[in-house]
Amino acid sequence: MAQGTGTVTDLTGQGKAKDLVDVGGMDALYHGILKGVGEDPEREGLLKTPYRAAAAMKFFTQGYQQSLEDILNGAIFQEDNNNMVLLRDIEFYSLCEHHLVPFFGKCHIAYIPSGKIVGVSKMARIVDMFARRLQVQERMTNQIADALEEALQPQGVGVVAEGSHLCMIMRGVEKQHSIMTTSAMRGAFLEMSTRMEMLNLIRSAKNGF
């Protein structure tokens, strides 16, 4: 491996350089981290680890390279509907910006259209776009709500995220079963009746109804 170049001469043993990710020199940094924790980066099992770790980090943070316009890609449609739309249990995986360890869980999104709806898969992609960054759950929840509000100008948007944080589970207080819940309510969802309708739909769906 050529340290610090962002490339690996032959990761697979088959010379498929076109399959390699440009890691921008991060492999050299991971090489230093391995030495810093007391490992030997030159031993067989770790020879390709700096590149692999750098490529993984590029994937984990790919949301920085994405935009709302690219994600939506025109998948907004005119529709005469003013009833609540709810997509629940959208899995997300993110990295805590304080310790660079994962937090993960599920996100629930609801909105009340005002003449426009969005393709259902786009809601999940919006979640991924913000989750695949260095994050705190509170900010991520607000960013998802703001993005949907910007894209649809709906009557209201509600987002609820439930996350397990490895910075609490693997280190620090080491509380194994703690779940953090955050919410962001916009427009009609600031009204208690609308908010409760959303939360009841999430709750009843979890109970199998």
- Which member of 66, 99, 149, 155 is catalytic? 99
Give the per-residue SS3 of the chain: CECCCCECCCCCCCCCHHHCCCCCCHHHHHHHHHHHCCCCCCCHHHCCHHHHHHHHHHHHCHHHHCCHHHHHCCCEEECCCCCCEEEEEEEEEEEECCCCCEEEEEEEEEEECCCEEECHHHHHHHHHHHHCCEECHHHHHHHHHHHHHHHHCCCEEEEEEEEEEHHHHCCCCCCCCCCEEEEEEEEHHHCHHHHHHHHHHHHHHHCCC
Q: Exactly one of 96, 108, 135, 197 is catalytic; which is it?
A: 96
From the candidates 3, 66, 155, 167, which is the catalytic residue? 167
Query: Is residue 22 within 8 Å of 7, Cβ to Cβ?
Result: yes
| 96 among known catalytic residues | yes
* Active-site residue, from 39, 79, 97, 138: 97
Catalytic residue among 31, 108, 162, 165: 165
Q: Whole-angstrom Cα distance, residue 156 to residue 197?
A: 13
In the residue annotation, 177 being an active-site residue is answered as no
Residue 189 CA to residue 84 CA, distance in Å, equals: 10
Chain Cα centroid distance, residue 160: 14
Catalytic entry in 98, 138, 150, 191: 98
**Is 31 annotated in the active site?**
no
Residue 99 bears catalytic tag:
yes
98 included as an active-site residue? yes
Among candidate residues 31, 107, 135, 137, the one labeled active-site is 137
**Active site amino acids:** 96-99, 137, 165, 167
